Structure 1
């Protein structure tokens, strides 16, 4: 056996025997904030949808009695509408930046960009850290990871729940936020 084959064999043996130290740990602040941002953005989009609009759901098959088996549900919380909203929710992560609470010194990503209907309520920018596009791209990546992993759970939660969806999604379903986060949060 040639010496270089032995060297390759030893290298491969060493690589497979070493403990897996390259497995990255998820940044708790980043993933909790991304989850909370998903809930905030979806809640906002739902609130902007006309509550009078409805959509037909169910099969369009005839029942044995000749009637149709379909029903109307509010568009805002329909699976179809929520799926559309979920497809674009991570694009709004560029409106968030790392925020440090001046009292508790706790860090989280918060929305800094006002929405068109915020009525001039601008946040205090001195507590935000704008670290360039890397920061918002990390938040967007975390958002996309959560959406990909939990899409069905997110849709079913928002379709059936109106209260405390952020807590249910981010603490109970995903586990990205500790339940203690919600005790001193305004959500």
Structure 2
């Protein structure tokens, strides 16, 4: 009996996980999360260095480090903290008969689609964001601290390099297509 209960519990956990990870187009969802991170990067205000010299030595001189804000853990926390809550402002919108994209909702009252369905989508992308950050946060934080994450590069770094939810970008496909063409030289 205990064995049957364990199996049923395991099946229930697998089914729950399958339902929770129900974002169909992970690349589009990842790009929406990357867009929100880019908004955070572009809205950053210049900050002073972090003065961590709080101790005094025997001569009364301050001891400790001065840390550049751009490479600090504080910057990473401020960029990523509350990110998934912000994703609840997004919903899935139909672009054409076969394509959907994630869009930021300015006013939930002015939606042309079913509000209940739109809210469900917003919860889906918010939980997807949590899973995405859980998988990639350490490496993303290191790249932010190194300064390799800049406005315009977040989608490539997060969605292609770290999470692998997107294949090569269209720019990369174009570069590959250009390489296949003859150079015109004999």
Q: TM-score range by the shorter chain?
A: 0.5 to 0.7
Q: Deviations over 1:7-48 (max 9, x none)?
A: x489579869x9x97462844545334422332222212222
| Counterpart residue number, 1:49 | 44
Residue correspondences, number: 158
Higher share of residues assigned helix: 2
Q: Say if 1:9 and 1:148 are closer, same or farther in 2 by CA, change over 3 A.
A: closer
Structure 1 contact 171–178 (Cα < 8 Å) conserved: yes
Structure 2 contact 51–67 (Cα < 8 Å) conserved: yes
1:99 aligns with 2:98: no
1:15-34, aligned counterparts within 5 Å?
22=15, 24=18, 26-27=21-22, 29=24, 31-34=26-29
* Distance in structure 2 (CA, Å) of the matches to 1:42 and 1:149: 16
Select the residue among 133, 136, 145 that pairs with 1:150. Answer: 136
Normalization by structure 1: what TM-score? 0.62
4+ runs of 1 displaced by more than 6 Å?
Answer: 12-16, 57-61, 66-69, 181-184
Give the aligned CA root-mean-square deviation in angstroms.
Answer: 4.0
* Distance in structure 2 (CA, Å) of the matches to 1:24 and 1:174: 18
| Counterpart residue number, 2:126 | 140
Structure 1 contact 29–107 (Cα < 8 Å) conserved: no
Q: Say if 1:137 and 1:164 are closer, same or farther in 2 by CA, change over 3 A.
A: same
Normalization by structure 2: what TM-score? 0.62
Give 5+ residue unaligned stretches, structure 1. Answer: 1-7, 115-124
Structure 1 contact 58–71 (Cα < 8 Å) conserved: yes
Select the residue among 74, 82, 89 that pairs with 2:76. Answer: 82
* Distance in structure 2 (CA, Å) of the matches to 1:91 and 1:143: 9
